[in-house]
Structure 1
Amino acid sequence: MMTFYKTTPAVLFWQWINQSFNAIVNYTNRSGDAPITVNQLGTAYVSATTGAVATALGLNALTKHVSPLIGRFVPFAAVAAANCINIPLMRQRELKHGIPITDENDNRLGESTKAAQQAISQVVVSRILMASPGMAIPPFLMNHLEKKAFLRKFPWMSAPIQVTLVGFCLVFATPLCCALFPQKSSISVSRLEPELQEKIRANHPGVERVYFNKGYKTVEAAPVWP
């Protein structure tokens, strides 16, 4: 384990830094154009970072009770769980009030919470899959390399090798996972809220599918664990 991850305060600090970065990314790359107050933003930030850090710390504690190889995959579970908490909480206003939906010609038809749910779900899935190669492949390789004489002789090389492996994985995982769902996603009118369905069918009878910006997917700062 890297030196600054050895103590609980250090783990707490770096997890907070990581989740704060992710919270900023999730907020700035959100969908929708509705304003948000300072109080709402502060509440979203505190709930997102606290929930994500607590989950990550709880799962990280499991490394003490499992085999070293399995323990290497606990950080991935922590990252996945943190994404499931951080992203929705930082974008909770979209879940409450909806995001803009348009027709194929970009004519605004209203705001939909159903579209927001789909948008956020797509981003969460993409972010988890984006982290998968970098947090699943290196553990196997490091488990093998640490049995070799090279790393036993030069243990300080462990961290640079891990960072290099993660970076190599992200070179391919990032564009592939960003391409999973289109930036301009769509949803059937029949899956929208009943009142919004009625409004669209009354004012735009030919529209069967609406479109929305799901928000961007950017890679998060995932720390290197053992």
Structure 2
Amino acid sequence: MEINTSGFDIDAPRWDQGTFLGRVKHFFNITDPRTILVPEHELDWAKAMVERSRMGTVPPGTHMEQLLYAKKLYDSAFHPDTGEKMNVIGRMSFQVPGGMLITGFMLHFYRTMPAVIFWQWVNQSFNALVNYTNRNAASPMSVRQMAFSYLTATTTAVATAVGMNMWTKRAPPLVCRWVPFAAVAAANCVNIPMMRQQELIQGISVQDKNHNEVGHSQRAAAIGIAQVVISRITMAAPGMILLPVIMERLEKLHFMKKAKLLHVPLQVTLSGCFLLFMVPVACGLFPQMCALPVSYLEPDLQDVVGAKDGKHAPYVYFNKGL
């Protein structure tokens, strides 16, 4: 079907972002792990198609399926604020292959202290890159700030894991298997705010309903980061809580006792199954473009909005990041 470019808005979501189900469908589309295999030239084509559609200059003969596919690739690989291509490992579409490997190994090698330290460091390094890649890009960070944030976040994660591992040494085996999740949840509460601290310090861009920037808000940044923390913990929870229970029972079976080499690949595969569904579900918990009541903004920003739009603008909007 050829596209009638008049009146077609490529940036309008295909599914209603005001509903949880609509957001989940949207993120199932853009976090599709198959998109990380798409070659660079195809991603560049997708960006060009999206930009041409915005200008109303789509090439004659273009089909709707082509444009929707281009938008899917664009949303999966390019930052919504800057339009710049994101690094592959930091994309949300890499969460399934990257997360399944790290989670599987982290849940398997939880008994020895060196293994706990190493895999928590790997996991939080991965998370730090994802957090930085999916930040609200309107708040730049210096190399020094990034290095300090990374070291603080990873050190906190490792210290939490080591401390909990020592504390639960005499606990039942199943409780010990849950230590990685507890450490990951605690570390997310530090890692994400630290990697996005500039948003908390300088505030993030907030816009009116016509997408015009009205200022920067620290309160909006705090809300956005808190929502991302909740989403990330939710993303990890089912796999890291249920998988230890599943493995605890499977490892008692006779054939599993003999096939110990299958334990790691089985945990990695099951982790991937959980993440395949939980990545879009967790991302869809909150809208990416959040609406914030004007009354919650800083007083000086409320005055700016009031002076510009009068008292009839109940909300401002901001990108919370992922």
Q: Is the 8 A contact 2:201 2:218 kept in 1?
A: yes
- 1:148 Cα deviation (Å)? 1.0
Q: Is the 8 A contact 1:32 1:100 kept in 2?
A: no
How many residue pairs get matched?
216
Query: Which residue, out of 133, 137, 142, partners 1:37?
Result: 142
Query: Which residue, out of 157, 162, 168, partners 2:262?
Result: 157
- 1:5 Cα deviation (Å)? 5.3
- 1:203 Cα deviation (Å)? 2.1
- For 2:270 and 2:191, the matched residues in 1 are separated by 26
Q: Is the 8 A contact 1:62 1:74 kept in 2?
A: no
- 1:103 Cα deviation (Å)? 0.9
Query: Which residue, out of 20, 23, 26, partners 2:131?
Result: 26
Q: Which residue of 1 aligns with 2:233?
A: 128
Q: Deviations over 1:38-76 (max 9, x none)?
A: 222222222122122212222233341210112221211
Identity %, equivalent residues: 54
Q: Which has the higher contact order (CA 8 A, sep 6+)?
A: 1
Q: If the length of structure 1 is used for normalisation, what is the TM-score?
A: 0.89
What is the root-mean-square deviation in Å for CA atoms of aligned residues?
Answer: 1.8
Q: Is the 8 A contact 1:56 1:81 kept in 2?
A: no
- For 2:159 and 2:300, the matched residues in 1 are separated by 38
Q: If the length of structure 2 is used for normalisation, what is the TM-score?
A: 0.63
Matched, 1:215 2:314: no
Matched, 1:98 2:206: no
Q: Is the 8 A contact 1:60 1:78 kept in 2?
A: no
- For 1:140 and 1:5, the matched residues in 2 are separated by 14
Q: Is the 8 A contact 2:110 2:180 kept in 1?
A: no
Q: Which residue of 1 aligns with 2:43?
A: none
Matches within 5 A, 1:12-161: 12-161=117-266
Query: What SS does structure 2 have at the residue aligned with 1:181?
Result: coil
Q: Is the 8 A contact 2:131 2:196 kept in 1?
A: yes
Matched AA of 1:214:
K
- 1:6 Cα deviation (Å)? 5.0
Query: What SS does structure 2 have at the residue aligned with 1:31?
Result: coil
Q: Is the 8 A contact 2:140 2:198 kept in 1?
A: no
Query: Which residue, out of 277, 282, 307, partners 1:202?
Result: 307
- For 2:253 and 2:111, the matched residues in 1 are separated by 24
- 1:184 Cα deviation (Å)? 0.7
- For 2:178 and 2:116, the matched residues in 1 are separated by 17
Q: Is the 8 A contact 1:95 1:117 kept in 2?
A: yes
Matched AA of 1:42:
A
Gaps of 5+ in 2: 1-103
